[in-house]
């Protein structure tokens, strides 16, 4: 038997993504965002409220997008809890090493093993200071420790975390259960 649950949202899994930006003075900022994902072959979309990151995106038109993983779960949660508008040294508190992207005007957090370097190609105001942002991925950086023997990102090695918004929990991506674009061919 199924039960109606009303309009309380349930949409999972949500990747835990760390958006890296610089402010007008070149100070790095990071924000934890779960409302984001791929929206084209080389494009990502983010839905964010009114934050320091939102202001920075309007100024710099560039960002990095890194996958939070098991190893960085507490730091990823911290950058989502603490506002860059109120805490100017929040990156220092995470202990993350910051370098400048070679491709866009945004910071790379060296402790996060996979980073997408993106330029803003569309940004629409969504009211109350929030925005819907579309970015074009111009490069991906991956640490050797998360690559397989073919040089591809290995999810098992990366151990990206997901937000389970229904119970306010982070989870690690689980086991492989099938082969995409192959298994369905068995059904005739």
Measured CA to CA, the distance from residue 82 to residue 91 in angstroms comes to 10
Query: Span 115-128, mean pLDDT?
Result: 95
Instruction: State pTM to two decimals.
Output: 0.93
Render pLDDT for 129-140 as a digit per residue (tens, 0 to 9).
889 999 999 999
Block residue for tokens 């993106």: 118
Measured CA to CA, the distance from residue 13 to residue 106 in angstroms comes to 27
Measured CA to CA, the distance from residue 66 to residue 141 in angstroms comes to 9
Q: Long-range contacts: 168-175, Cβ < 8 Å, 24+?
A: 170/16, 170/73, 170/77, 171/13, 172/70, 173/13
Q: Are 21 and 177 in contact (CB under 8 A)?
A: no
Average pLDDT taken over every residue of the chain = 94
Render pLDDT for 165-177 as a digit per residue (tens, 0 to 9).
888 999 998 888 8
């Amino acid at each position: 038997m199924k039960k109606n649950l009303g309009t309380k949202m349930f949409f999972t899994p949500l990747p835990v993504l760390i958006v890296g930006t610089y402010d007008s003075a070149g100070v790095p900022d990071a924000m934890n965002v779960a409302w984001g994902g791929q929206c084209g072959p080389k494009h990502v979309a983010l839905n964010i409220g009114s934050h320091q990151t939102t202001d920075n995106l309007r100024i710099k038109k560039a960002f990095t997008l890194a996958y939070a993983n098991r190893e960085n779960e507490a730091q990823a949660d911290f950058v989502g809890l603490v506002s860059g508008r109120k805490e100017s040294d929040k990156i220092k508190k995470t202990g993350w090493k910051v370098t400048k992207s070679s491709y866009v005007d945004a910071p790379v957090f060296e402790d996060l093993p996979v980073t997408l370097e993106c330029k803003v190609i569309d940004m629409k105001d969504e009211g109350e200071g929030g925005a819907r942002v579309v970015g074009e991925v111009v490069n991906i950086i991956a640490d050797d420790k998360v690559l397989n023997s073919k040089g591809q990102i290995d999810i098992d090695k990366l151990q990206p975390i997901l937000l389970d918004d229904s119970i306010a929990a982070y989870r690690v991506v689980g086991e492989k259960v099938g082969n995409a674009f192959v298994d369905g061919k068995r059904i005739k």
